[in-house]
Structure 1
Amino acid sequence: MCVNYRPPLPEQLDMVLGTLVDLYRDWDWPTETWKDYTAPIVRAGEHGERTLQLASYGMVPRRHIPAGVKPFDTMNARAESLGEKRSFAPAWRRAQLCAVPMTCFYEPCYESGRAERFGIGMQDDSVFFVAGLWREWPEADGTVGASFTQITINADDHPLMRRFHKPDDEKRALVVLPPGDVDAWLHCRDPELARSFLRAYPAEAMKAWAAPKTPVVKAQPEQQSLW
């Protein structure tokens, strides 16, 4: 599963939205996204346009986990159980679909015998979109916040994604949306039809590279690196 990725920079938003924009130039977010960090997602606007929103990574933010309940992770939603898991099923049934823009995501590779961080992205280094779900939360200050998760599928047979995670673990991959499918995904309102989008992305259009983690000043609290 993916727990860390690199979102686009603010100056790349024209590419993300498909039109020239100035509205979001003063928005900001960390250069790498981890659980409970704020990052941009794309939703369908009222008139068919792509609309940008800042949301918290993880469908159930830590601040909304009830006291006494052991913290749990909801950054990834398994495609096989979307309609069953309490954290994801309501948003899935309501077709609250979003696209998560990024320039790469990170996974551990054990081919050397130990965990090494690798970056995975497109062969042409372009911004791409991952299928996701979103929901809203009432916040303590009276505002309404948003959160999101990314959808994953089995990757045991994927030529590239099967290289990652521990040798005996099931291989998983984010659902990368082909550029021509992004808007159709955002506007889909039938959960069963939405399942047709949950398929593997061609390995030949992707690439992976060693990406050792460098020290980063924490932009937001409560983040612990896994590797």
Structure 2
Amino acid sequence: MCSHYEGPTPSQLAATFGVEAAQGKLDLWPGYIGPFLRRSMNSDEVKGGEGGLEALMGSFGLIPSWSKDTKIARRTYNARSETVGEKPSFRNAWHRAQHCIIPAAAIYEPDWRSGRAVPTRIARVDGEVMGIAGLWEEWCAPGTSQVLHSYTMLTVNADSHAFMRDYHRPEDEKRMVVILPRGLYRDWLEASVDTSADFMRRYPADRLAVVERP
């Protein structure tokens, strides 16, 4: 599971995805506002990138339309791929194939091998920005018409993953976010609900590494 990640800078976002977004917080936690990418909806409120992508700012933690407030984002930042279609918080976005990509320069996970939690920065070996598979939603505060976007990261089991199995408490199930290969970005954003599960794969262990923050 991932509750803390490092967002990309505007220059990293432009170089990787060809889109623009405002500079926001780089250290992102549930409830913080960060960038996510989806297929262009031809909205005048965002700047479209090449290839029909658009970048929006939203809450890290999915806020379903029925929620009374935004506090739920503290619990909905990750969605288990095995049950995402059944859980009330996520099923609308899943069944409507509201796919998005969450760009991340790195993710942070606790390494418990020393007997205590050591926050560890994990990035792609090649230094590229990660494209994490996610779902997006729209929410309006009761009695208003102001839209707040939100997103969640999809996760898969990592008990036998050669890299990610070393993170989280020894007695807990190991999970990891779904990091998409760059060649599948477009396919994921355009995938139907019937094919969404095909993308729920573990990223190769040899393409991830512990990297110190620049």
Say whether the fold is shared (TM-score over 0.5). yes
The alpha-carbon deviation at position 72 of structure 1 amounts to: 5.6
2:183 matched residue in structure 1: 180
TM-score by length of 2: 0.87
The alpha-carbon deviation at position 181 of structure 1 amounts to: 0.3
For residue 33 of structure 1, the aligned residue among 25, 28, 32 is 28
Aligned to 1:120, what secondary structure does the other structure show?
strand
2:136 matched residue in structure 1: 134
The alpha-carbon deviation at position 192 of structure 1 amounts to: 2.5
The alpha-carbon deviation at position 118 of structure 1 amounts to: 0.5
Q: Please list every run of at least 4 consecutive aligned residues from structure 1 whose deviation after the TM superposition is greater than 2 angstroms.
A: 64-67, 69-72, 139-142
Contact (CA 8 Å) 2:31, 2:74: kept in 1 or not?
no
Work out the CA distance in 1 between the residues paired with 2:174 and 2:210.
15
Aligned to 1:59, what secondary structure does the other structure show?
coil
The alpha-carbon deviation at position 14 of structure 1 amounts to: 1.4
Instruction: Map Cα deviations across residues 37-78 of structure 1 (whole Å, 9 max, x no partner).
Output: 0000000115851110101000128xx5459x9986000000
CA, structure 1 residues 179+75, in 2 after alignment: closer, same or farther (shift >3 Å)?
A: same
Work out the CA distance in 2 between the residues paired with 1:100 and 1:89.
19
Contact (CA 8 Å) 1:103, 1:128: kept in 2 or not?
yes
Contact (CA 8 Å) 1:15, 1:127: kept in 2 or not?
no
**Gap runs ≥5 in structure 2:** 43-50
Work out the CA distance in 2 between the residues paired with 1:199 and 1:207.
18
Contact (CA 8 Å) 1:77, 1:151: kept in 2 or not?
yes
Aligned to 2:28, what secondary structure does the other structure show?
coil
The alpha-carbon deviation at position 142 of structure 1 amounts to: 3.0
Aligned to 1:176, what secondary structure does the other structure show?
coil
2:5 matched residue in structure 1: 5
Q: Percent identity?
A: 38
Task: Please tell me whether residue 86 in structure 1 is matched to residue 88 in structure 2.
Answer: yes
The alpha-carbon deviation at position 120 of structure 1 amounts to: 1.0
**Gap runs ≥5 in structure 1:** 212-227
Contact (CA 8 Å) 1:5, 1:32: kept in 2 or not?
yes
For residue 204 of structure 1, the aligned residue among 181, 203, 206 is 206
The alpha-carbon deviation at position 191 of structure 1 amounts to: 1.5
Instruction: Map Cα deviations across residues 128-148 of structure 1 (whole Å, 9 max, x no partner).
Output: 100000000114653211000
Instruction: Map Cα deviations across residues 143-202 of structure 1 (whole Å, 9 max, x no partner).
Output: 2110000000000010000000000100000000000001110111x2221110000000
TM-score by length of 1: 0.82
RMSD of aligned residue pairs (Cα, Å): 2.2
CA, structure 1 residues 74+46, in 2 after alignment: closer, same or farther (shift >3 Å)?
A: closer
Work out the CA distance in 2 between the residues paired with 1:210 and 1:179.
23
